Chains A and B, each alone.
Chain A
Amino acid sequence: MTGKNKDWDTEFTDFVVHRSPALLRTAYLLAGGDPEAARDLLQDVLERMYPRWPRITGSPEAYARGALANTAANRWRRLSRRVRETPLAPGQLAPAVDGPEEAVVTADQIAPLLASLPPRMRAVIVLRFFDDLSERQVAEVLGCGIGTVKSQTSRGLARMREALRPDGPGAARLTTTPAGGQR
């Protein structure tokens, strides 16, 4: 092993050891609460990062978060063969008109709620509200327009709200297995 490669391994190992706990949390949410899928997702992304390590400019953690979100979204694209950019099935066209009160989400509800969202929409919600990225940053990470981020955020929140209603059409989803478990 060359000296350069040794430094490379040391730096990368240091990054994985110190930042993987935080990245695993993002991966867990992106995987809809499936811990095994989250570990697979994180390992997949880190393995792809390793050979590129010397050429990653800026924050490696930001790079990893972007890669996690895109890999999760693309995994959905590959698996479900749906088109990108806010495709709506006819059954999903009910107006997103809510009551005036705001629904409160609890920790035991959040994973199945996220699992009920399409992965791209889920990625937008996780990046916005867990990783605290701005709409512009989310758009840059996912390679879409700010308008798409706005509409996906709004629609994602509305759908979660709908699923939280005890008699709502999405209520049953709260008891289903996480998205990753359905693969």
Chain B
Amino acid sequence: MIDEDSLREAMRETTDGLRPPTRLAEEVIGGARARRRRRRRTGVTAVALAAALVVTGGALTTMNLTTTEVLGGEGAPAVARSWFDVPTRGDLADDRDFVGRASTTWRDELPLFLGIRAGLDEGGRGDPHLVAATTTPSGPAAIFVQRHAPPGDDESYDMLGLVAQSPEDGELHLLSVGRDEGKGQLYLFGEDDRTLIGLPGPEPLHLSTGPDIDGSTGEVTRQWEELVAEDGLILRQLPADSHAHDVVAATEVPDTLIPEELERRPPLAVLTSESRAAALDPGAAQHFLRPRSLDSNWNESLTFFYLPVASRPALTYQERLAEEEALDSPDNWRCETGENGGESCERITAAPSHPDSERELDLMDRTQRALWDSGRADLINHHSGGVFGSFLVIVRMTDGRIATIGEQWNRVQHGEAHAVVFTDDNLTEVDDFAYGGPTRPDDPVQLSVRLPDDEGWVVLSYQAALRYRTTPDGPWQAVESDRGAALLPAEAVQVEVSREGGTDVVELVR
């Protein structure tokens, strides 16, 4: 490993002589003002071109797409179309009662989404425009657009938002607001967020309601349908088994979606009722994003289980971290006060090297990569962040191969248990996979995977004591376990899980 003290010192030494240009502040302020001027020019031109939009049967020509091409320049907003100059679409466009109530709701509740409290500077806002008002399976709904200039900012943008009935009280509310990025806008609302409404973008939109997972291999696919607008509006009722978090929209033809393309052209955000919940309670928003994983309540941030236990390295990654933290004790540092009064410190106790524990992180990365490369990870989901649990069971199989078992999140409801078998200790090649089905945080056995070639069952019930038997009425056999993880023989048919509060017997289903 690299000596960290020398790394710090090298970075300081090599940057010591650097000096910024003497007129940096003036150049920065001048550059910032030039950016502002560019934005304003773009805005004026966009408005002028928007007036030339042609409305034909509810479909818009997108002649102002050339705006950004003409102006170009960094920071120029992508202007695809203006919603302000098109007539209101939908069967409720002339329903004065609904339009009036929806407009009042939009005006009253918009500050909530902008984080504005009474008495504070709200910035500037244009007039709202009703883009759509229509009947849906979840009641009447309206989409508004309004330009917003945040206080103290020189950049204004258009907000598109949905006013519809909230299932919670049956009243009209502003449910979602998003910045108009010129790509179209989709909202999910109604009971369990299953009604999809939206405005089309300049490119065709495709929708997938969730990943399909092969029950025997765990391979992930998605079915896609093109969202065709009728009378300028997209309206769908999603299946009863769909979940809002699994719904994805994309402009790219889905068959060509590859990781690099996803990075360049990320999926379109589908706004859900959580937008309103997050606006009401920003602190709660962080809990929306992640599915419940097995390790949600574990003590350790990264957990590695070893089977057999004898194959554990001298120090696990977790233990090494604890050791390094202990090295931060003041006893291990020498500090001196310099001439200018500043204090410089150096650690006088070197951190020992533990290459074995570095290997654990490698194993985790390789497992994740193998699942990804073999089609066992939802790439769309992968785009949005971490999708692999922060634990790994590492098994030395009887034939010498290494198997790693972890939890992959492809759907919001639960994770999936997967095993990856590597050919040798160098982990150069993936040899095989095994799929253990959904993980079960609330069950006595939270994860079980049957390894290939009758190498046995890997079961996990965090911090529980485990026994097994090979016939339904046979004697219970003790098994070596690591914090609730165990490798059972292939013949095992039941596992007994004991923890404080009781004992359960669980069938191992082949």
Contact = CB atoms under 8 A, between A and B. Distances in A.
A binds B: yes
Interface of A: 9, 12-13, 16-17, 20-21, 24-25, 28-29, 33, 35, 38-39, 42-43, 46-48, 50-52, 54-55, 77, 81-88, 93, 95-111, 125-126, 129-130, 144-148, 150-151, 154-155, 157-158, 160-161, 164
A24 B35 CA distance: 22
Contacts of A158: 1, 358
Given A98-B353, A161-B1, A29 B19 contact: no
B117 interface: no
B3 interface: yes
Given A25-B18, A83-B383, A88-B365, A98 B1 contact: yes
17 contacts: A9-B29, A12-B29, A13-B25, A17-B25, A24-B15, A28-B14, A38-B18, A39-B21, A46-B28, A51-B36, A95-B426, A102-B2, A103-B1, A103-B2, A110-B14, A126-B11, A130-B15
B366 A104 contact: no
Contacts of B260: 81-83
Contacts of B358: 96-98, 154, 158
For the complex of A and B, 8 pairs with smallest distance between CB atoms: A25-B15, A50-B32, A107-B13, A16-B25, A110-B10, A102-B3, A83-B259, A46-B28
A46 B21 CA distance: 13
Contacts of B302: 147, 150
A24 B358 CA distance: 32
A51 B153 contact: yes
Contacts of B222: none
B3 A24 contact: no
Contacts of B72: none
Given A98-B358, A160-B2, A47 B11 contact: no
Contacts, number: 180
Counting chain B residues whose Cβ lies within 8 A of the other chain, the interface size class is: 35 or more
A125 B10 CA distance: 13
Contacts of A17: 24-25
A148 B385 CA distance: 10
A88 to B, nearest CB: 6
Given A55-B152, A105-B10, A161-B2, 16 more contacts: A20-B24, A35-B18, A38-B18, A42-B24, A51-B153, A82-B263, A84-B263, A93-B428, A95-B426, A95-B427, A101-B353, A110-B10, A129-B8, A150-B302, A154-B361, A161-B1
B332 to A, nearest CB: 16
A55 B262 CA distance: 32
B354 to A, nearest CB: 9
